[in-house]
Amino acid sequence: MQGEDSRLSMTRRDLLRLVGLSAGGAAMYAVMNRLGHAAESPYQGTPVLQGTPRGASVLILGAGLAGMVAAYELRQAGYKVQVLEYNHRAGGRNWTLRGGDTYTELGGFTQHCQFDRGHYINPGPWRIPYHHRGLLDYCKKLDIPLEPFVQVNHNAYLHSSKAFGGKPQRFRTVNADYRGNLAELLAKATQQSKLDAQVSREDQALLLESLRQWGALDEKYAYVAGPGTSNRRGYDKEPGGGLSAKPLDSQPLSLHDVLGSHLWSGLSDGEGYEFQTSLLQPVGGMGRIGEAFARKLEGVIRYNAKVTAIHQDQGGVTVSYEDARRSGHVQSARADWCICTIPLSILSQIPMNVSAPMAEAIGAVPYAASVKVGLQFKRRFWEEDEDIYGGITLTDLPINTIAYPSCDFNRPGKGVLLGAYLYGLDAYQFTAMSPEERVRRVVEYGSQIHPQYRQEFENGVAVAWHRAPYTLGCFATWTDELRDKHYDNLCQIDGRIALAGEHASYLPAWQEGAVTSALDVITRIHQRVVAGGTA
């Protein structure tokens, strides 16, 4: 068996080597795709920009991840690069709020983050899927330490205000009881010959065997209290050591109770491709990535530069900008090419002479609302009282999500958790509140799940993305219909201007979308430059 496998893979490897030798990397990639490899990510490593840019210059708008990836690579390839950034810092949505930080949102509402030293919240992206190879590659290049991000925690909660009297249930028990009851049901149907038309006798035997394992069924294919069930859903009294160490089995919930609670709707949260183990996070906050890029690009980025107009002509692109802190004095920057990573929410308001289809695309994509709230508590009660180390609690309350920190596990002292992560109508409503009101409400709602909130809460910060002065929204909400109509037009190089960012990707809201769109755009611009240098 094993020999056969290795023979197969030898053959495959030889084939790939031959294809690679005779037809080059692209052909090898195409074959690998057909063989089922390499389909995970369009990322093929940092593009090698071969050939000299012959003194060509590129002006990059926005020092978020897309802009800084482009700047970093183009500089390495020998381009003259300058970056204009609206904020006084780099990173864009790659951003960590720490104690001592001040953040003023639109409307003039200012918050002073009062977290203790070492504590933080990531208002934007906060987790890196293992297959986001572009971003992970830059973390490696920039020497950014990563640690596991816990997505699924079997001991965190699924909570419904309408089920079990509002008492939160452990993910573990709902998961075990949902599976156990389904397995029992399917086993019964099999044994009562109700599946004979669909499933062969041989497969029925295998199905029963698999159901027993999958659902923790007993020898009669029943899902009942016992050691096997407790081993999945937990015990009424945990096994221990010594005289009174004998465990007490717990009583499973019925199928009716599990279904009626609707808590099953939270079970697949970690099943999606982007949420499967392993997920990672930079040690010390997601903002470490933007901060590291900014150090590499010192002197290249001009901060507090608010772009007011983008104009291209035969010879290049001129961008007008003013000081973001006080308007009036307009300056300009010019280069042969312009890579614009300004979010469409803002770019749609900036005069820019591109083709009508691209202009239409820029104005066609609405931005999602999202709100995140970080709360500092006097102690890590979720660990100390409830054995929850990282992971996510889901609730039908407007706060939607409580995420426990995936760092500093089991340390004494204070802790900061994500007290709310909102989308849709809840996000609209929290955006419409003052920051203080958001925090106050989040603490009130959260105390329905963790009563310790009332005693232990110290301070909080709330970021509503539609009020972020530099994005005016969270991310581009493409629909299939919008993509069909506008996506390709958005991604074209229009004369001497090209766009990059999560909005120019099929990975909306993910940093990997920003990274891969930037790599794609610099590759295409570079091809034009080495081919002749004109648009």
Partner 1 sequence: MKPLLCIVALLLACTSCVRAQSSGKPLYTYASLRNANGEAVFHAICQGCHMPDAKGATGAGTYPALAGNSKLGSPQYMAAVVLFGRHNMPSFEVRPSDHKNFFEDATLTDEQIADLVNYVRTHFGNHYTNSITAAEVASMHPQTASAKQP
> Tokens 């120019």, residue?
504
With contacts defined by CB under 8 A, name the span among 25-33, 183-191, 199-207, 465-473 that binds partner 1. 465-473
> Tokens 């063989």, residue?
35
φ, ψ of residue 215 to 5 degrees: the values are -100, 0
Backbone torsion region of residue 52, taken as left when φ is above 0, otherwise alpha when ψ lies between -120 and 50, otherwise beta = beta
Among residues 127, 159, 232, 306, which is the contact residue for partner 1, using CB under 8 A?
A: 306
Tell me the C-alpha distance between 421 and 394, whole Å.
10
Among residues 67, 180, 390, 473, which is the contact residue for partner 1, using CB under 8 A?
A: 473
Among residues 232, 466, 496, 526, which is the contact residue for partner 1, using CB under 8 A?
A: 466
φ, ψ of residue 108 to 5 degrees: the values are 85, 5
β-bridge mates for residue 169, sequence order? 158
> Tokens 């608010």, residue?
306
- Residue number with CB closer to partner 1 (14 or 436): 436
- Residue number with CB closer to partner 1 (216 or 263): 263
With contacts defined by CB under 8 A, name the span among 160-168, 230-238, 411-419, 449-457 that binds partner 1. 160-168
Among residues 146, 185, 259, 368, which is the contact residue for partner 1, using CB under 8 A?
A: 368
Q: Which parts of 180-219 interact with partner 1 (CB under 8 A)? A: none
Is 398 one of the binding residues for partner 1 (CB under 8 A)?
yes
Tell me the C-alpha distance between 450 and 393, whole Å.
11
Amino acid, single-letter form, for residue 339: I
Tell me the C-alpha distance between 222 and 206, whole Å.
16
Asked if 428 and 370 count as a contact pair (C-beta separation under 8 A), the reply is no
Q: Which parts of 330-349 interact with partner 1 (CB under 8 A)? A: 342-346, 348-349
Per rule CB under 8 A, count of chain residues that contact partner 1: 53
- Residue number with CB closer to partner 1 (116 or 396): 396
With contacts defined by CB under 8 A, name the span among 13-21, 65-73, 150-158, 423-431 that binds partner 1. 423-431
Tell me the C-alpha distance between 66 and 89, whole Å.
15
Is 161 one of the binding residues for partner 1 (CB under 8 A)?
yes
Is 512 one of the binding residues for partner 1 (CB under 8 A)?
no
With contacts defined by CB under 8 A, name the span among 70-78, 372-380, 474-482, 493-501 that binds partner 1. 474-482
The secondary structure element, H or E, covering residue 127 is none
Instruction: Tell the smallest beta-carbon distance from residue 48 to partner 1 (Å).
Output: 34
Instruction: Tell the smallest beta-carbon distance from residue 55 to partner 1 (Å).
Output: 31
Tell me the C-alpha distance between 361 and 125, whole Å.
25
Is 492 one of the binding residues for partner 1 (CB under 8 A)?
no
Tell me the C-alpha distance between 76 and 97, whole Å.
31
Tell me the C-alpha distance between 484 and 490, whole Å.
11
Is 451 one of the binding residues for partner 1 (CB under 8 A)?
no
- Residue number with CB closer to partner 1 (110 or 349): 349
Among residues 51, 100, 363, 451, which is the contact residue for partner 1, using CB under 8 A?
A: 363
Instruction: Tell the smallest beta-carbon distance from residue 444 to partner 1 (Å).
Output: 4
Instruction: Tell the smallest beta-carbon distance from residue 406 to partner 1 (Å).
Output: 23
List the one residue out of 387, 379, 390, 400 whose CA is nearest residue 458: 379
367: helix, strand or coil: strand
List the one residue out of 497, 509, 518, 519 whose CA is nearest residue 358: 497
Instruction: Tell the smallest beta-carbon distance from residue 320 to partner 1 (Å).
Output: 14
Q: Can you state the percent helix, strand and coil of the chain, rounding each to 5? A: 40, 20, 40
In order of 319, 354, 534, the CA distances from 309 in angstroms are: 6, 12, 22
Tokens of 151: 């997505």
Is 425 one of the binding residues for partner 1 (CB under 8 A)?
yes
Asked if 334 and 82 count as a contact pair (C-beta separation under 8 A), the reply is no
Is 162 one of the binding residues for partner 1 (CB under 8 A)?
yes
Is 103 one of the binding residues for partner 1 (CB under 8 A)?
no
Is 423 one of the binding residues for partner 1 (CB under 8 A)?
yes
With contacts defined by CB under 8 A, name the span among 5-13, 211-219, 442-450, 521-529 that binds partner 1. 442-450
Is 354 one of the binding residues for partner 1 (CB under 8 A)?
no
Q: Output the CA torsion sign for 86, 89, 95, 97.
A: negative
- Residue number with CB closer to partner 1 (143 or 481): 481
Asked if 508 and 475 count as a contact pair (C-beta separation under 8 A), the reply is yes
Is 436 one of the binding residues for partner 1 (CB under 8 A)?
no
Is 502 one of the binding residues for partner 1 (CB under 8 A)?
no
Among residues 8, 23, 26, 106, which is the contact residue for partner 1, using CB under 8 A?
A: 106
Is 304 one of the binding residues for partner 1 (CB under 8 A)?
no
In order of 54, 468, 473, the CA distances from 325 in angstroms are: 36, 15, 21
Among residues 147, 432, 436, 451, which is the contact residue for partner 1, using CB under 8 A?
A: 432
Among residues 58, 468, 491, 529, which is the contact residue for partner 1, using CB under 8 A?
A: 468
Asked if 423 and 398 count as a contact pair (C-beta separation under 8 A), the reply is no
Tell me the C-alpha distance between 522 and 519, whole Å.
5
- Which parts of this chain interact with partner 1 (CB under 8 A)? 86, 106-108, 161-162, 166, 306-307, 324, 342-346, 348-350, 363, 365-369, 396-398, 423-426, 428-429, 431-432, 437, 440-441, 444-445, 448, 464, 466-473, 477, 479, 481
